[in-house]
Amino acid sequence: MPKYKIIARQMMRKINSDDMKQGDKLASIEELMKYFDVGKNTIIQVLTLLERQGYIYQVRGSGNFVRKHRRHGYINILEANGFQSTLQGFRLGSEMLDLKIIKPNTEVMANLDITAEEDVYYVKRLRSIEGRKFAVERSYYVKDIVPYLNQEIVEESIFRYLMEDLKLKPGFTDHFLRVGKLNQENAELLNLNTGDPTAFLESIYYLENGQPFDYSKVLYHYEETQFFIQGTNNMEL
Amino acid sequence: MPKYKIIARQMMRKINSDDMKQGDKLASIEELMKYFDVGKNTIIQVLTLLERQGYIYQVRGSGNFVRKHRRHGYINILEANGFQSTLQGFRLGSEMLDLKIIKPNTEVMANLDITAEEDVYYVKRLRSIEGRKFAVERSYYVKDIVPYLNQEIVEESIFRYLMEDLKLKPGFTDHFLRVGKLNQENAELLNLNTGDPTAFLESIYYLENGQPFDYSKVLYHYEETQFFIQGTNNMEL
């Protein structure tokens, strides 16, 4: 891992700790250079990354300040490595309901930009938090890119496996969110009633080269889930 | 407006047009420098902004590529300037239901980081798209920062007024999204039934200096609304 990421992780842990609060001023670039014993470019890379990840904000002419995640128990939609990092401290579970290799239907073909002949892994999982069911997930992985999945991987963390073992280089993500009513099958899986509200999140994950590799559809339990979406300097234009 | 923003806007219009599709390669930095008659730093600023706004993606060593918004009619949560830009081409309406100066309750105090003595503008609006009601919005603006609002501003675009007339410098935004059931008052406003599903979005908008100035609570019509959330290179860590 490059030096700037190691330093950024260290600073994120510090910011997440109780020592720092919203609006606290960070040490100056010079001080950070001295403290971490690195050059100015590395510190600039660290600060750019921290700002993009929503951990700090820059005020032109006066420095960098801490930005705190102000509410707990929310899923950060923009943290794509699953729920593992956002819901730290909570006991999370994944029960595999189905895993098989299939041919894509037209919806999956369109979202993964593949032909009807290509194989995809279909994964159906029931996610839980502190033993309470909170989401039903149906995901489709392009088999050309993800050649192998098994129950152990699926119940642990698919994303960790893809990034750390398969060394995939993730790029960007599109999320589509709607609200609707649960049908009977999904209501039963979530211990809810048919017609109860649900958040329906569709996500398409792309590799660094722009190729989609994962199309995922998740239905969330409306009482167990809340989302956090952090905008960084989005009003620039 | 700085030169790089003017060029970025021009390129965004081009990307949004039918001429370009997902994965199309952009001209090289040198070609863009020549075409727009500006220096390398300006083009780098343009490309950084386009990438952060989700209009392009970079592939190290091979260039910049077009990223298209693949579905229409979705609200982009991260475009904070209201719905005006995301839902271009749709006829949008805002009906003012209430506008008054009040003292904040504890919820508003906590989210806007103000004391019980400070004044806030309370605005209640019914938003519509193509004549169909799609959201009830209740917003609280710190009066110290937003000294004046009237019906014309509230039914036009509050954000445009704040940015262009008051020259506020927007910073970042926190969004909190939950799913729930509508109570009678809100169901009637949206022409739905009590107990129908709704997306409940709370947003806190901050100035560039980190000060919150707008706390907004919006209930969306579940059949009329869908959200788009674009992640850019969020898996970096």
Q: Which residue has the higher pLDDT, A236 or B106?
A: B106
Whether B110 has a pLDDT exceeding 90, the answer reads yes
**pLDDT over 90 percentage in chain B:** 58
The domain B75-228 having CATH identifier 1.10.10.10: the answer here is no
Residues ≥6 apart with Cβ < 8 Å to B103: B116, B117, B118, B119, B120
Nearest CA in chain B to A73: B176
Q: Which residue has the higher pLDDT, B228 or B218?
A: B218
Residues ≥6 apart with Cβ < 8 Å to A156: A94
Q: What is the pLDDT of residues B185-203, one digit of tens each?
A: 999 999 999 999 999 999 9
Q: What is the pLDDT of residues A148-179, one digit of tens each?
A: 999 999 998 888 899 889 999 888 888 899 99
Whether A184 has a pLDDT exceeding 70, the answer reads yes
Q: What is the pLDDT of residues A71-106, one digit of tens each?
A: 777 777 776 555 545 566 677 889 999 999 999 999
In this complex, the residue of B78, B175, B234 whose CB is nearest that of residue A80 is: B234
The DSSP annotation for A80-101 comes to -STTTTTTTTS-EEEEEEEEEE
Looking at CA atoms only, how far is residue A231 from chain B in angstroms? 5
Residues ≥6 apart with Cβ < 8 Å to A45: A4
What fold is seen in the domain B3-66? Arc Repressor Mutant, subunit A (1.10.10)
Give CA B163 to chain center in angstroms.
13
What is the arrangement of strands in the sheet containing A197-207, beginning at the earlier edge strand? A92-102, A120-129, A132-142, A212-221, A197-207, A170-181, B226-231, B75-76
- Given a contact cutoff of 8 angstroms between Cβ atoms, the answer to whether A224 and B179 are in contact is no
Residues ≥6 apart with Cβ < 8 Å to B60: A208
Give φ, ψ of A206 to 5 degrees. Answer: -110, 150
In this complex, the residue of A5, A78, A197 whose CB is nearest that of residue B231 is: A78
In this complex, the residue of B65, B208, B222 whose CB is nearest that of residue A179 is: B222
Q: What is the pLDDT of residue B88?
A: 62
Query: Whole-angstrom Cα distance, residue A16 to residue A40?
Result: 24
**pLDDT over 70 percentage in chain B:** 92
Whether B87 has a pLDDT exceeding 70, the answer reads no
Q: Which of chain B's residues have a Cβ under 8 Å away from the Cβ of A175?
A: 227-231
Q: What is the pLDDT of residues A24-68, one digit of tens each?
A: 999 999 999 999 999 999 999 899 888 877 889 888 788 999 988
Give φ, ψ of B80 to 5 degrees. Answer: -80, -10
* Contact flag B5-A236 (C-beta cutoff 8 Å): yes
Count the Cβ atoms, other than its own, within 10 Å of residue A88: 9
Q: What is the pLDDT of residue A169?
A: 86
Supply the mean pLDDT for chain B: 88
Nearest CA in chain B to A7: B237
Nearest CA in chain A to B4: A237
Looking at CA atoms only, how far is residue A10 from chain B in angstroms? 11
Q: Which of chain A's residues have a Cβ under 8 Å away from the Cβ of B5?
A: 236-237
Q: Which of chain B's residues have a Cβ under 8 Å away from the Cβ of A225?
A: 178-179
- Given a contact cutoff of 8 angstroms between Cβ atoms, the answer to whether B170 and B205 are in contact is yes
Q: What is the pLDDT of residue A87?
A: 60
Whether B237 has a pLDDT exceeding 50, the answer reads no
Whether A113 has a pLDDT exceeding 60, the answer reads yes
* Contact flag A81-B235 (C-beta cutoff 8 Å): yes
Whether A233 has a pLDDT exceeding 70, the answer reads no
Q: What is the ipTM of this complex?
A: 0.81
Query: Whole-angstrom Cα distance, residue B201 to residue A199?
Result: 12
Query: Whole-angstrom Cα distance, residue B8 to residue B78?
Result: 18
Q: What is the pLDDT of residue A105?
A: 97
* Dihedral of the alpha carbons of B156, B157, B160, B162, in degrees to the nearest 10: 110
Q: Which of chain B's residues have a Cβ under 8 Å away from the Cβ of A53?
A: 234, 236-237
pLDDT, mean of residues B162-168: 90
Q: Which residue reads 């569709």 in tokens?
A: A202
* Contact flag B226-A57 (C-beta cutoff 8 Å): no
CATH 1.10.10.10 residue ranges of chain A are: 3-66
Q: What is the pLDDT of residues B41-80, one digit of tens each?
A: 999 989 988 887 788 988 878 899 998 866 777 777 776 5
Nearest CA in chain A to B236: A170
Interface with B, mutate which of A211, A229, A232, A233 (most B CBs under 10 A): A229
CATH 3.40.1410.10 residue ranges of chain A are: 75-228
* Contact flag B174-A70 (C-beta cutoff 8 Å): yes
Q: Which of chain B's residues have a Cβ under 8 Å away from the Cβ of A179?
A: 179, 197-199, 220, 222, 225
Interface with A, mutate which of B44, B52, B227, B228 (most A CBs under 10 A): B227
* Contact flag A80-B49 (C-beta cutoff 8 Å): no
Q: What is the pLDDT of residue A237?
A: 44
In terms of C-beta density within 10 A (0-12 exposed, 13-18 middle, 19 or more buried), how is residue B27 classed? middle
Supply the mean pLDDT for chain A: 88
- Given a contact cutoff of 8 angstroms between Cβ atoms, the answer to whether A92 and A109 are in contact is no
